[in-house]
A and B are shown apart, each in its own frame.
Chain A
Amino acid sequence: MKTLGAWFLWTIFSGTAAAVAWRKIQRHFKVYLLILMSGIYLFGTFVIYALLKNIPV
């Protein structure tokens, strides 16, 4: 449950950050932004999992 809760908060946070950046950024770079945000989101998800489950990275 702790992991699911942390993932939920992380999803809300990264989703909001992506939405704010989406509005600010120029059209041409939007796809690169999407790729970057997707990478950060997955990276964060795995790191949160490792931290909460005490898995050595």
Chain B
Amino acid sequence: MIALNTSSLWDLTKRDFSERFAGSVLGAIWALIWPLVNLTIYIVIFGRFMGARLPGTSDTYAYGVYVACGLLPWTAMAGTIGRSTSVFLDKRHIISKVSVSLPALLLVINLSESITFAISMVFFFLFLLITGYNLSGDLMLLPFLFLLQQLFAFGFGLLTATLTVFIRDLREVVGIVLQLWFWFTPIVYVSQILPDVVKKIMIYNPAYVLIESYHSIFVFNDAPSIKSLIVLTFVAHGLICFAYFVFRALEKDVRDFL
């Protein structure tokens, strides 16, 4: 069985990353072009040309930074969950031929999305440095925030990937849930515009806790709510435990079904 060893994981991740741009002339350069285009849209188009402003600030780029620092992690998390959900079905030609560790396939997706996130973040930081944006010391929490986010996505993805083998409709359901989840999370709008009832519910939204933490660090130069992050740490690890338990219970059936 291809176990969870570092070199095979890295090889599979590299293959997953290059497969996305297979056959194109520019190849992996597209991995640099995409984040650059996205950041230009978020920061320059929204902030500069459309003149969108964050309430209480006159900074030209503040809204663009607000959107970018919410959308980049969201894209990584939603991409991980979305692709993980159908990974067993998508890779059934490998699973049926080689005795591969199934959770390793999810780790590969997780790592691949993390590389894309890292590339985007490099451009984002370059932009912030060029424009002389004020960065806070709380920035050192960023790797841990991202780790927590991807752990949550891994647990969620493992659960949906296992269940999707038996209930194929779940793939579409997850797509719709992610779409609704995106609009239910203050990424392109500020949470202050929400009605009080929704604000009360919002604290139970894991994506809200994560995205607000990114906003605190990048936009508001403030420490994120550590209490919320600790609660989310428990939730994320509880979810992984539950997902792994379900996966172990159904693993044999998953392989038979595929």
Contacts and interface: CB of A to CB of B under 8 A. Distances in A.
Interface in B221-245: 223, 226-227, 229-230, 233-234, 236-237, 240-241, 244
Contacts of A21: none
B190 interface: no
B220 to A, nearest CB: 14
Interface in A1-41: 3-4, 31-32, 35-36, 38-39
A50 B230 CA distance: 11
Contact of B144 (A31, A45, A50, A57): A45
A35 B229 contact: no
Contacts of B241: 32, 35
Main secondary structure, interface of B, reads: helix
A43 B226 CA distance: 10
A31 B248 CA distance: 11
A4 B140 contact: yes
Contacts of A42: 144, 147-148, 151, 233, 237
Contacts of A39: 233-234, 236-237
B243 to A, nearest CB: 10
Contacts of A57: 226-227, 230
Contacts, number: 43
Given A32-B241, A35-B240, A42-B148, A55 B230 contact: no
B141 interface: yes
A36 B230 CA distance: 14
A38 B226 contact: no
Contact of A53 (B103, B223, B240): B223
A39 B151 CA distance: 10
B235 to A, nearest CB: 10
A55 B141 CA distance: 13
Given A42-B144, A42-B147, A36 B237 contact: yes
A45 B123 CA distance: 27
Contacts of B229: 46
A17 to B, nearest CB: 16
A17 B236 CA distance: 21
Interface of B: 103, 140-141, 144, 147-148, 151, 223, 226-227, 229-230, 233-234, 236-237, 240-241, 244
Interface of A: 3-4, 31-32, 35-36, 38-39, 42-43, 45-47, 49-50, 53, 55, 57
Given A49-B141, A49-B226, A55-B226, 11 more contacts: A31-B244, A32-B241, A39-B234, A39-B236, A42-B144, A42-B151, A43-B234, A46-B144, A46-B230, A47-B226, A57-B227
